[in-house]
Amino acid sequence: MNSYERFCFNLLGKRMKGQREQYASLRNDLVSSRSKTPFEVYLSTALVSSFIAGFGMAAVLGAVSYLLDIPTLVSKMYKGQVPDMMYGLSAYSLILGTIFTVIVSLVFFGGFTYVAFLIYPSITAGNRRRSIDSGIPYAINYVTSMSTAGITPAEVFRLLGDSPIYGESAVEARYIAREIDIFGRDLIDALRIVSASTPSPRMKEFLQGSMASIASGGNLTDYFRTKAKQYALEYRQSQKQFLDTLGLMAESYVTAIVAGMLFLIILQSIMSVLGGEKTPLMLYAVIYLMIPFGTMMFVIMISSMTPET
């Protein structure tokens, strides 16, 4: 907790302690993302940051609006009909426009900052889930090899946690080792706690199966070996499915963005020439808006679908 977070917690921390039930989803996301910031500190920081961003941008944009006399410029550019009751307020357009700018800026930037703080832990947890799901076949192969060598289950997870090459799977293993070494819990309790907070359904299933195997006295090595084969098969299937989807996305991009936009450009060019338009706005919209925006959407979609490596 840095000095800024400490300041926010000292300011609002006591009030945030009563909001734990209301923000249950945020608390779960913070735990799943393995954030080191406590819930009360994070929510206090979110609220204070929202107020600072909202009031700061409201002050800046309000000052710009007032000094540059933007409301008056906008009113002069407007050519439409104005209700009769608005004519009496025309003399106060600068003040009213500045107040409107301040209020809108306060609500927009403050609300945007607050929402960003609320959804950031879920995004981080989602990234961790993808990383765990992609690396868990290799992590379980490592666990199987260690268990086959006769190493105890607790030490197996401790060794996995000390192997950074397995990424977020090693992070989950370190939390298991922490529950055992620092809090003095047995292996089953440690597996239960971590399985309840991990963002990956595959890791949750694996840990719960390990708990059941240990509690029933089953052969844990055989269970590890079985899960390693299962997850390796599922990973190959998911990769094949991703490649098929990527091929479909590529065909859609060529059809919609390349061929479709080329057709629109040719069509709008012909219509502009025949209509004698000096400023073909629709053609400009296709070239400068639709093509970049469509390409950006495809990039975002493919990036969100691409599994972690």
pLDDT for 93 equals: 59
Q: What is the CA radius of gyration of the chain?
A: 29
DSSP for 247-295 reads HHHHHHHIIIIIIHHHHHHHHHHHHHHHHT-SS-HHHHHIIIIIHHHHH
Distance CA 225, CA 211 (A): 15
DSSP count for the chain of H helices, then E strands: 14, 0
Distance CA 236, CA 214 (A): 29
Joined tokens for residue 61: 């944009």
198: helix, strand or coil? coil
The 8-class DSSP code of residue 306 comes to: S
79: helix, strand or coil? coil
Distance CA 117, CA 133 (A): 25
Using left for φ > 0, alpha for ψ between -120 and 50, and beta otherwise, residue 150 falls in left
Helix axes 168-181, 93-148, angle to 10 degrees: 70
Is the separation of the CB atoms in 71 and 93 below 8 Å?
A: yes
Spell out, as residue ranges, where the chain has pLDDT lower than 50: 79-89
pLDDT for 76 equals: 55
H or E stretch at 145: helix 93-148
pLDDT for 190 equals: 92
pLDDT for 84 equals: 46
Q: How many CB atoms lie within 10 A of CB 97?
A: 20
pLDDT for 303 equals: 79
pLDDT for 192 equals: 92
Distances (CA, A) of 95 to 81, 101, 261: 21, 10, 45
Distance CA 143, CA 213 (A): 15
pLDDT for 172 equals: 92
Of 143, 136, 122, the C-alpha closest to 230 is: 136
